[in-house]
Structure 1
Amino acid sequence: MTRFLSRAARPLAAAFLALALEVTNLSPVAAADAGPSPIALRSATAQPAVPGVNADIQLLHHTMLGVSGRPVPATTLLLTPKGAPPAGGWPIVGWEHGTTTPGQRTCAPSQTPELDGGLTRDGFKSDYSWQISQFIDAGYAVVAPDLEGLGPDATTPYPYYSLSSLARSLVAGVVAARAAEPSLSERWAVVGHSDGGHGVLGVEALAKEATGLAFAGTVASAPYVAIEAHAARFEADAKTASDEAAAHQGLMMQQFQGALMATGLKVTQPSFDEASIMGPDLAETLPRFRSLCSVAAIGTIDAAVKAKGRAFEGLNADWGSQPQMHAFLAANDPAVMPDYTLHQPLLIVQGNADPFVLEALQTRFADRLKASGARLTYKVYDGADHFSIIRRANADVLDFLRQQFAR
């Protein structure tokens, strides 16, 4: 996908919130009211060393509260620095990966040497293991969940884009890690990239489920938000493109947004009919799309769009207004969730050359957060794209974490 993605880089209201909670039951605030998660550590197994990561690594087998409202099996990687912990224990960085798959459980960090669910293996260097090494070298333990529905123990589907599921995967992983390793501190912060960046934006509302621990703050790197707005922007790019390659790219990226959201919604709402938001060409790709890791999954849509060009029958113009989809986005996309804000310190980092999460839409979200009173630091990095943002923002991320853990 490196080669494919480098081509990509080329050139409502309170009433509706009530509907969202009724239809999806996925609001993190509403979910938090349900009580503490039934988290139980079942076992921990030693994992092989990861090149460049100077840590002891364990795979934790535990339970978490799933989107069904029942406990489900989950797995989480725990990486701790070698040597003696500092007084008070190793501070914890809960780290969440981006989109590694729409629904294939083997595309999980614990199942790949680079800790990225196959992105590097399939040709798209993620820098995830490098980022984790930076946290280890700074003296932090890293808790990296595979996420609900992903990993070797998963028995239920992956509820893609569910904010409560993403957040609870981290909360459960941190609680399980503390049960497995007494050298961990009670202080924790979260860092996520792309859809993981979206996921960490839901953690603060559920952090109290990590009983007895002190939540310190959030780092979101190119968080995947404003989904409907992204689809509309890509559609506009396709319509105004001056050449077929650019038109194809915009159309493909528009379809990709809808395919991901349809996949996530279908898991939480089996009654959802994809045909209510899309034409037959896109609908026909979904079974295979959901069975693959990200690189091949997006390639499936790319090939389908190429085969039909501008005649491709994909997302309906009003796809986001279909009641179930509209409610799903309102309950899970912080950029459109009514009254969404955070109270603990938050850092968002974004590249202005990112072809997947667009800087203009991220800046609009950041402005909305600031207006809500969020304690946000927002930084844009010139020339950084969707993955190079990890290295470009590293010093600022480490400085932010250092400040929060020092409070």
Structure 2
Amino acid sequence: MKKHLLTVLLSGSVLLLTACNDSNDHDDSSTPPTNTSDINTIKNPVVGTTAYTKTDMSAIAGDSVVMTYKMKGINGTEVQANAMVFTPRTAAPVGGWPIVAWAHGTTGVADICAPSRNEMNAAIQGMIAKLLAEGFVVVAPDYEGLGEPSGKEIHPFLNVKSEGYSITDAVVATHQWLGTKASSKWMSIGHSQGGQAALGAAQYAARANLNYKGTVAVAPASNLGMILQGGELSVIGSTPDIQIPVYAQLDTYTALIAAGLKNPHPSTDYSQVFQKPTDKIAAQAESVCAEDLGNLFGQAMGQYAAINKTLTGYPRTVPNFLSLPVVKTFIDTESKPLSVLVTTPITIYQGSADTTVPKVATDTLIGDATKLGTKINYIQTAEWNHNTAYTLNIDNIVFDAKEMLSK
């Protein structure tokens, strides 16, 4: 299959429950979220730090660490998560360094896929270098359940509240770890799943109880049902060589969603979403990363097509799986960012050539958010695809961060 269609997931890709004041209370997933989330009062949130060594950041960063921190998880209980933290090489100014939270794109749900366990790609490294040079601390969470210390919690993939809390609680821990070296000012930047996560941070920014200044989201994941169904329609009647890369990417997202749902809903089974024997491929979402999972889906379809000369009859997803109650609630509610009014600045970059998060999904997201009164600076061109909407705008994103944090 065409590997490049799946690698975009790794450079940046796409949850909602009502907050409770007690960390042992469980959230009600049917209740609409609010942007007045419970305040983070976790004591001693930093569990520990170790050196981040997967990529040599010594030329651009003072400290480069993997910080293990405490956060409120999707089920309302306190869990541990990891985040990379990078500090400028210059001395902290009076008032401290502002904090920029970087939210990464889809890597998978298996622990081995956590960014802190892997080498950083050049584009992200370059952006972090520019942010550090501007005098900002960068904290980059793995997200809840992704590479977390116990190895038992599954990452709740594309769950807006989980992503938002992963960011807010990482920022709180970073702020406490740095003490007077850190400012109370912070903002978030993200691409694809990370764009969705950054919008989740905006929605739940009150939890950090710091000075949230704004959000930059690039091709943010949203309207997942539209994306999945639109992807299917886009290759109807095409030959297998056209269909396979698209189907493999869609099935990868679907398998990761099914895996993530097993965190709040342990009884979720892959056979509820995928037909047999494809459900066995989907189950490997818990042990391999997104690109490899996509290749497994593609290889199986390729073998079928080589024999049958068509994909008609190939056992992919269960018909109408989107109507499964747990999936429907996730699609309609828990994966939707900007579902309440957000008053802090938001800039969104989107390209019309994006086939991973199509422009129509982002247009719909912005239209719905605007109806609630949220104001969004929407920057779009026909040329950008899912990857270049981020890579070609790194200087602009850094400028946006400077503007937001200067106020």
Q: TM-score range by the shorter chain?
A: 0.7 to 0.9
Match of 2:29 among 24, 47, 55: 24
Matches within 5 A, 1:170-209: 170-182=167-179, 183-209=181-207
Secondary structure class of the residue paired with 1:24: coil
Give the TM-score normalised by the residue count of structure 2: 0.85
Match of 2:40 among 36, 42, 45: 36
Matches within 5 A, 1:232-243: 232-241=229-238, 243=239
User: For residues 27-51 of structure 1, what are the alpha-carbon distances to aligned partners after superposition, in whole Å with 9 as ceiling and x for unaligned?
Assistant: 6539935x53536112223434327
Go from structure 1 to structure 2 and tell me whether the alpha carbon gap of 1:177 and 1:227 turns closer, same or farther (over 3 Å shift): same
User: For residues 251-284 of structure 1, what are the alpha-carbon distances to aligned partners after superposition, in whole Å with 9 as ceiling and x for unaligned?
Assistant: 3333233222211112211122433333224312
Secondary structure class of the residue paired with 1:147: coil
User: For residues 166-218 of structure 1, what are the alpha-carbon distances to aligned partners after superposition, in whole Å with 9 as ceiling and x for unaligned?
Assistant: 1111111111111111211100000111111111211133222213x101111
User: For residues 140-164 of structure 1, what are the alpha-carbon distances to aligned partners after superposition, in whole Å with 9 as ceiling and x for unaligned?
Assistant: 1101112111236244221212211
Contact map agreement 1:77 1:110 (CA 8 A) in 2: yes
Go from structure 1 to structure 2 and tell me whether the alpha carbon gap of 1:8 and 1:50 turns closer, same or farther (over 3 Å shift): closer
Contact map agreement 2:71 2:80 (CA 8 A) in 1: yes
Go from structure 1 to structure 2 and tell me whether the alpha carbon gap of 1:165 and 1:406 turns closer, same or farther (over 3 Å shift): same
Count of residues in correspondence between the two structures: 382
Contact map agreement 1:105 1:154 (CA 8 A) in 2: no
User: For residues 299-339 of structure 1, what are the alpha-carbon distances to aligned partners after superposition, in whole Å with 9 as ceiling and x for unaligned?
Assistant: 1121222233232222234222211111122232226x8x5
Go from structure 1 to structure 2 and tell me whether the alpha carbon gap of 1:25 and 1:270 turns closer, same or farther (over 3 Å shift): farther
Paired residue type of 1:94:
A
Matches within 5 A, 1:75-94: 75-94=82-101
User: For residues 90-146 of structure 1, what are the alpha-carbon distances to aligned partners after superposition, in whole Å with 9 as ceiling and x for unaligned?
Assistant: 111011111111x211221211231xxxxx5xxxxx722222222112221101112
Matches within 5 A, 1:5-404: 5-6=4-5, 24=29, 28-29=33-34, 32-33=37-38, 36=40, 38=42, 40-48=45-53, 49-50=56-57, 53-101=60-108, 103-114=109-120, 127-151=123-147, 153-155=149-151, 156-182=153-179, 183-211=181-209, 213-241=210-238, 243-308=239-304, 309-334=311-336, 339-404=339-404
Contact map agreement 1:145 1:169 (CA 8 A) in 2: yes
**Unaligned stretches of 5+ residues in structure 2:** 9-16, 19-25, 305-310
Go from structure 1 to structure 2 and tell me whether the alpha carbon gap of 1:153 and 1:374 turns closer, same or farther (over 3 Å shift): same
Secondary structure class of the residue paired with 2:217: strand
Go from structure 1 to structure 2 and tell me whether the alpha carbon gap of 1:238 and 1:195 turns closer, same or farther (over 3 Å shift): same
Go from structure 1 to structure 2 and tell me whether the alpha carbon gap of 1:276 and 1:287 turns closer, same or farther (over 3 Å shift): closer
Q: List structure 1 segments (4+ residues) > 6 angstroms apart after TM superposition.
A: none
| Cα-Cα RMSD | 2.8
Give the TM-score normalised by the residue count of structure 1: 0.85
Contact map agreement 2:62 2:90 (CA 8 A) in 1: no
CA distance in 2, matches of 1:181, 1:349: 31
CA distance in 1, matches of 2:27, 2:93: 46
Secondary structure class of the residue paired with 1:272: coil
Cα deviation, residue 52, structure 1: 6.1
Paired residue type of 1:351:
G
CA distance in 2, matches of 1:234, 1:80: 41
Match in the other structure for 1:13: none
Paired residue type of 2:112:
T
Secondary structure class of the residue paired with 1:330: helix
Go from structure 1 to structure 2 and tell me whether the alpha carbon gap of 1:26 and 1:271 turns closer, same or farther (over 3 Å shift): farther
Match in the other structure for 1:12: none
Match in the other structure for 1:123: none
Contact map agreement 1:263 1:290 (CA 8 A) in 2: yes
User: For residues 37-93 of structure 1, what are the alpha-carbon distances to aligned partners after superposition, in whole Å with 9 as ceiling and x for unaligned?
Assistant: 536112223434327634421221221111222211212111111111223211110
Go from structure 1 to structure 2 and tell me whether the alpha carbon gap of 1:109 and 1:26 turns closer, same or farther (over 3 Å shift): farther
Identical aligned residues as a percent? 24
Paired residue type of 2:349:
V
CA distance in 1, matches of 2:382, 2:59: 28
Cα deviation, residue 377, structure 1: 0.7
**Unaligned stretches of 5+ residues in structure 1:** 10-16, 115-119, 121-125
CA distance in 1, matches of 2:5, 2:378: 26
